[in-house]
């Protein structure tokens, strides 16, 4: 054991003695005995308050698996290398040809160039598809490696040259290929999206956990299936990555393998020029109790380590920082030697066994199939712990002149000679002209390469990637399951949140659907009144419950169980969203239809994890997002950071997300039932966002015949009483929590001689979308009688003025303005929230019954139906402050001054 001896002071006899003795323990007692002694010494020191902080978190900067433990390689490396070279060429050709075509659609070469070997080893020997006896692997690659995967699919005959030609041209005739893995755009090919850096890690971690959840709950056989998550070293800087690794260890996810492609560079330059990203990540993952495997050096180094008796080479490797290693990747052999040897004769001696050219070409571990195989193979055997493999590579490996350069990420073009030289070096049998054009190359179907590749994939369950959905449909329950909500609450008051919890309870009890329901909640179950479900459904815990809960004698104890149904995520919205994504895609990943209901504080949804919601759309996720305690004025007291008046607006930006802001329990029942029908019976690729509020009110019975209107977005809830002057007519649109104010405004207006109809608008977003759809169709079919949008049709015969009030921003009701057949005033909660009572907040944001009435009167005045004098009198009666600051821009400080 020479390691570190190089660093030792030769005169330090005491140290030498210690090392000699531990060496002899290793020789005689083996590693376990040595570890036991080391731990005992460490514990002794700890007892004496001497903490050795870095004692275990970092291992030396070398391969975790030594040569003697390296398994024999099971494949034919020579053929695999040829296949990899062809993929490298074709992947690069896709980008170069795109560049040459002048379309400017871009692409990347450098990432796949660094990751090609690890992907190839995975594809030849590890990534297994679902089969009768195997759960199937979910593999998430680095997004920028997509060209390499397309190139491979060409060799398998799954994609055509025409499709490769149309990389990043998805609208091209004959079909093109998406830039990155997007299941939405290539639903038979890609299974999971990853183009937004950092999100694939929580996605994969929670996919792995959800697979265990399904197994523990008996919804999936315990037949294995690994989740492979490939990310970049720059990507590891995203907080979602290191922020979610703890749960993987806590949940003992031995079905999870992360691979970090440590090419030491990100887009602009080095990831850690002054340090070592691999060592840094090792500390983080080891500290989180992961199994860490480092692949740093290729086999060529093994011979050098073998003669590094004093550990000088290892010591030199420890000293160099990533900036140095990047420099070596662009330097000539003599330069590398000179810098590396640093006038140390012992190092010079060791390096003498390699020529300058050999030194220049000596590889990193990530370009050596045997080292990668050894690491992947060991990861498969991990028990009780997730594994991370940190693989050192060169960015742009094989891109002559650009390997390791700071500009390599963005490199989309190569000069003609560079193309020809690359083709030569990769052994691609193309003529000079064809190489200059970057023609694709595909060996014949009966060539050794193609036969080998197909045989390997056949042994692993077929081509990868592929997304195959085979999932039984569920039958939506009859609406009567929610009879209690449809009936209304009589004299009792309740909120839609309380109604939701009752409905969830009904669903959990449902004989067929019950087991498919997945309630997900961050640390807010009590906020939403869900604690009764702890006992009923149990909180999922892979370890069960090893303690007696403090409230075990109460009616609602905190019950954790291995087959618990609720996913209680703690204060981690990103994790909860990732669970939603896993549960909402189980129909595709596992063929199991699970129905997630993820309930959260509505403000901590879209603006906190909006990018993950976007990727839910990409991954064709199904399920219900429930924005609890919704509304800017309804969550009184909590103030600016909690009061949500905009999530409905953001929800409108997700194309296949249906969003609703129901006012009443019966409406909620209709929407949820219809959602289950569409997503699980009809298997439509949509998902739902429903805001639910904590405005206690007497829930009216569902209006006869309103189901269609509720789903489409609007219906007449209550007509106003007729008044003598037919001109004095108003229509009030209410939704969500503000409906109570709208109903009160109807009464106030009646006392002022105005007849007001109340309309319940369950979804401005759906009304607007449908309206735009219909208008577009009309434009494309000139001459045929134009169709009328639903909302226009609904209001066609109405006269008077129209006032919309919601607890969301004005832009939401404004979305339907063009189809409202009269003067239209929108009231909403633009501006920051503030801490106040509900009543004062509603006056401040001008959405109280008084301000709604006032808006109707002002509009009627403009229409000539109400006189100026009457308006003045009403202002006094309704306590309207005509000089108040505009809440859209003002805050409490302005209000006081």
Ligand X SMILES: Cc1ncc(C[n+]2csc(CCOP(=O)(O)OP(=O)(O)O)c2C)c(N)n1
Which residues make up the interface to ligand X (CB under 6 A)? 111, 114, 142, 144, 195-198, 232-235, 261, 263, 265-267, 271, 395, 409
For ligand X, the closer CB: 217 or 409 = 409
Question: C-beta of 276: minimal distance to Mg ion in Å?
Answer: 14
**Residue whose C-alpha is closest to residue 750's, from 740, 762, 758:** 758
Measured between alpha carbons, how far is 348 from 338 in angstroms, rounded to an integer? 9
For Mg ion, the closer CB: 111 or 765 = 111
Give yes or no for residue 233 binding Mg ion (CB under 5 A). yes
Q: What is the DSSP string of 516-573?
A: GEEEEESTTTTTTT-THHHHHH-EE-TT---S--TTTTSSS---EETT--BEE--S-H
Give yes or no for residue 142 binding Mg ion (CB under 5 A). no
Give yes or no for residue 80 binding Mg ion (CB under 5 A). no
Measured between alpha carbons, how far is 123 from 138 in angstroms, rounded to an integer? 12
Q: What Rg do the C-alpha atoms of the chain give, in angstroms?
A: 33
Question: C-beta of 407: minimal distance to ligand X in Å?
Answer: 13
φ, ψ dihedrals at 269, nearest 5°? 180, -155
Question: C-beta of 300: minimal distance to ligand X in Å?
Answer: 23
The token duo for 652 is 């409108």
Tokens 């060496």 correspond to what residue? Answer: 23
Three-class SS of 87-138: HHHHHHHHHHHHHHCCCCCCCCCHHHHHHHHHHHHHHHHCCCCCECCECCCE
Give yes or no for residue 828 binding Mg ion (CB under 5 A). no
Stretch in the footprint of Mg ion (CB under 5 A) among 226-234, 317-325, 574-582, 771-779: 226-234
Which of the listed partners (Mg ion, ligand X, none) does 506 bind, with a CB threshold of 5 to 8 Å by partner kind?
none
Stretch in the footprint of Mg ion (CB under 5 A) among 261-269, 458-466, 701-709, 808-816: 261-269
Which of the listed partners (Mg ion, ligand X, none) does 235 bind, with a CB threshold of 5 to 8 Å by partner kind?
ligand X
Measured between alpha carbons, how far is 325 from 363 in angstroms, rounded to an integer? 12
Question: C-beta of 108: minimal distance to ligand X in Å?
Answer: 7
Give yes or no for residue 366 binding Mg ion (CB under 5 A). no
For Mg ion, the closer CB: 265 or 329 = 265
Residues 6+ apart with CB under 8 A from 433: none
For ligand X, the closer CB: 609 or 707 = 609
The CA angle 457-461-464, to the nearest 5 degrees, is: 60
For Mg ion, the closer CB: 265 or 706 = 265
For ligand X, the closer CB: 90 or 261 = 261
For ligand X, the closer CB: 237 or 840 = 237
Which of the listed partners (ligand X, Mg ion, none) does 111 bind, with a CB threshold of 5 to 8 Å by partner kind?
ligand X
Give yes or no for residue 405 binding Mg ion (CB under 5 A). no
Which of the listed partners (ligand X, Mg ion, none) does 532 bind, with a CB threshold of 5 to 8 Å by partner kind?
none
Question: C-beta of 81: minimal distance to ligand X in Å?
Answer: 21
For Mg ion, the closer CB: 256 or 394 = 394
How many helices, marked H, and strands, marked E, lie in the chain?
A: 36, 20
For ligand X, the closer CB: 449 or 618 = 618
Give yes or no for residue 232 binding Mg ion (CB under 5 A). yes
Give yes or no for residue 755 binding Mg ion (CB under 5 A). no
Question: C-beta of 26: minimal distance to ligand X in Å?
Answer: 37
Rule CB under 5 A: choose which of 70, 90, 163, 263 binds Mg ion.
263
Measured between alpha carbons, how far is 286 from 289 in angstroms, rounded to an integer? 5
Question: C-beta of 325: minimal distance to Mg ion in Å?
Answer: 13
Which of the listed partners (ligand X, Mg ion, none) does 63 bind, with a CB threshold of 5 to 8 Å by partner kind?
none
The CA angle 291-293-295, to the nearest 5 degrees, is: 170
- Closest CB to ligand X belongs to which residue? 232
What helix, strand, coil percent values describe the chain, rounded to 5? 45, 10, 45
Give yes or no for residue 800 binding Mg ion (CB under 5 A). no
**Residue 851: HSE in the Cβ half-sphere, 13 Å Cα cutoff:** 22
For Mg ion, the closer CB: 201 or 760 = 201
Site pattern 186..225 for Mg ion (x: CB under 5 A):
----------------------------------------
Rule CB under 5 A: choose which of 234, 396, 623, 815 binds Mg ion.
234
| E strands present in 707-839 | 714-718, 729-734, 755-761, 801-805, 824-827
Measured between alpha carbons, how far is 200 from 206 in angstroms, rounded to an integer? 10
For Mg ion, the closer CB: 230 or 600 = 230
Question: C-beta of 73: minimal distance to ligand X in Å?
Answer: 25
**Residue whose C-alpha is closest to residue 590's, from 128, 130, 123:** 130
Give yes or no for residue 771 binding Mg ion (CB under 5 A). no
Burial class (CB in 10 A: 0-12, 13-18, 19+), 246: middle
| E strands present in 332-435 | 387-392
For Mg ion, the closer CB: 108 or 590 = 108
Q: How many residues are there in the chain?
A: 897
How many chain residues bind Mg ion (CB under 5 A)? Answer: 5
Residues in contact with Mg ion by the rule CB under 5 A: 232-234, 263, 265
């Amino acid at each position: 054991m020479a390691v570190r001896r190089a660093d030792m002071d030769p005169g330090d006899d005491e140290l030498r003695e210690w090392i000699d003795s531990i060496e002899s323990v290793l020789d005689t007692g083996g590693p376990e005995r040595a570890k036991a002694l080391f731990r005992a010494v460490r514990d002794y020191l700890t007892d004496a308050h001497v903490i050795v902080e870095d004692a275990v978190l970092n291992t030396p900067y070398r391969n975790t698996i030594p040569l003697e433990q390296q398994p024999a390689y099971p494949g034919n490396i020579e053929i695999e290398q040829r296949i990899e070279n062809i993929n490298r060429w074709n992947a690069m050709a896709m980008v170069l040809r795109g560049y040459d075509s002048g379309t400017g659609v871009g692409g990347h070469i450098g990432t796949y160039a660094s990751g090609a070997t690890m992907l190839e080893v995975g594809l030849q020997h590890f990534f297994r598809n679902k089969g009768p006896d195997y759960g199937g692997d979910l593999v998430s690659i680095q997004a920028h490696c997509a060209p390499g995967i397309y190139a491979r699919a060409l060799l398998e005959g799954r994609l055509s040259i025409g499709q490769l030609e149309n990389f990043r041209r998805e609208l091209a005739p004959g079909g093109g290929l998406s830039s990155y893995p997007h299941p939405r755009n290539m639903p038979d090919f890609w299974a999971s999206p990853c183009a937004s850096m950092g999100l694939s890690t929580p996605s994969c971690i929670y996919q792995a956990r959800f697979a265990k959840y399904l197994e523990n709950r008996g919804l999936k056989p315990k037949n294995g299936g690994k989740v492979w998550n490939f990310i970049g070293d720059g990507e590891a800087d995203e907080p979602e990555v290191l922020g979610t690794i703890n749960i993987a260890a806590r949940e003992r996810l031995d079905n999870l393998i992360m691979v970090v492609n440590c090419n030491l560079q990100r887009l602009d330059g080095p990831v850690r020029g002054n340090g070592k990203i691999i060592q840094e990540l090792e500390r983080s993952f080891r500290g989180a109790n992961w199994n860490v495997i480092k692949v740093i050096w290729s086999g060529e180094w093994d011979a050098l380590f073998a003669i590094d008796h004093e550990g000088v080479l290892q010591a030199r490797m420890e000293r160099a920082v990533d900036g140095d290693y990047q420099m070596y990747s662009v330097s000539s052999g003599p330069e590398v030697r000179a810098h590396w040897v640093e006038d140390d004769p012992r190092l010079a001696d060791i390096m003498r066994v390699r020529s300058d050219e050999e030194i220049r070409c000596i590889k990193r571990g990530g370009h050596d199939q045997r080292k990668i195989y050894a690491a992947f193979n060991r990861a498969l055997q991990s028990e009780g712990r997730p594994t991370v493999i940190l693989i050192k590579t060169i960015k742009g490996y094989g891109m002559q002149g650009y390997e390791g350069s700071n500009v390599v990420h963005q490199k989309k073009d190569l000069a003609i000679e560079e193309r020809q030289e690359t083709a030569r070096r990769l052994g691609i049998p193309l003529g000079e002209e064809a190489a200059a054009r970057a023609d694709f190359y595909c060996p014949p179907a009966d060539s050794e390469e193609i036969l080998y590749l197909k045989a390997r994939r056949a042994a692993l369950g077929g081509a990868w990637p592929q997304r195959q959905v085979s999932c039984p449909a569920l039958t939506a329950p009859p609406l009567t399951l929610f009879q209690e909500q449809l009936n209304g609450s009589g004299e009792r008051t309740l909120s839609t949140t309380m109604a939701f919890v009752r409905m969830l309870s009904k669903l959990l009890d449902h004989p067929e659907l019950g087991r498919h329901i997945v309630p997900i909640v961050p640390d807010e179950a009590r906020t939403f009144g869900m604690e009764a479900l702890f006992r009923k459904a149990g909180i999922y815990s892979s370890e069960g419950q090893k303690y007696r809960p403090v409230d075990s004698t109460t009616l609602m104890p905190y019950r954790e169980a291995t087959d618990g149904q609720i996913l209680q995520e703690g204060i981690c919205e990103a994790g909860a969203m990732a669970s939603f994504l896993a549960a909402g895609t189980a129909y595709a990943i596992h063929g199991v239809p699970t129905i997630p209901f993820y309930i959260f504080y509505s403000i901590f949804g879209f603006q906190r994890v909006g990018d993950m919601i976007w990727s839910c759309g990409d991954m064709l996720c199904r399920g219900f997002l429930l924005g609890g305690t919704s509304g800017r004025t309804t969550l009184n007291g909590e103030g600016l950071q909690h009061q949500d008046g905009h999530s409905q607006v953001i929800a409108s930006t997700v194309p296949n997300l249906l969003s609703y802001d129901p006012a009443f329990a019966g409406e909620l029942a209709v929407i949820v039932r219809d959602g289950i029908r569409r997503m699980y019976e009809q298997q439509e690729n949509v998902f739902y966002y429903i805001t639910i509020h904590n405005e206690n009110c007497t829930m009216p019975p569902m209006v006869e015949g309103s189901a269609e209107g509720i789903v489409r977005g609007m219906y007449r809830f209550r007509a106003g009483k007729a008044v003598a002057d037919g001109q004095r007519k108003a229509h009030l649109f209410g939704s969500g929590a503000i409906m109570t104010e709208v109903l009160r405004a109807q009464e106030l207006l009646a006392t002022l001689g105005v007849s007001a109809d109340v309309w319940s608008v369950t979804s401005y977003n759906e009304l607007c979308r449908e309206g735009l759809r219909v208008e577009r169709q009309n434009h494309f079919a000139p001459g045929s009688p134009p169709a009328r949008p639903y909302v226009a049709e609904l209001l066609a015969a109405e006269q008077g003025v129209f006032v919309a009030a919601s607890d969301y921003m004005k832009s939401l009701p404004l979305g339907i303005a063009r189809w409202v057949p009269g003067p239209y005033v929108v009231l909403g909660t633009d501006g920051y929230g503030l801490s106040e009572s509900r009543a004062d907040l509603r006056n401040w944001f001008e959405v109280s019954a008084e301000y709604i009435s006032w808006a109707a009167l002002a509009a009627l005045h403009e229409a000539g139906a109400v006189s100026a004098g009457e308006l003045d009198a009403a202002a006094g009666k309704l306590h309207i402050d005509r000089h108040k600051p505009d809440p859209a821009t003002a805050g409490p400080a302005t209000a006081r001054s």
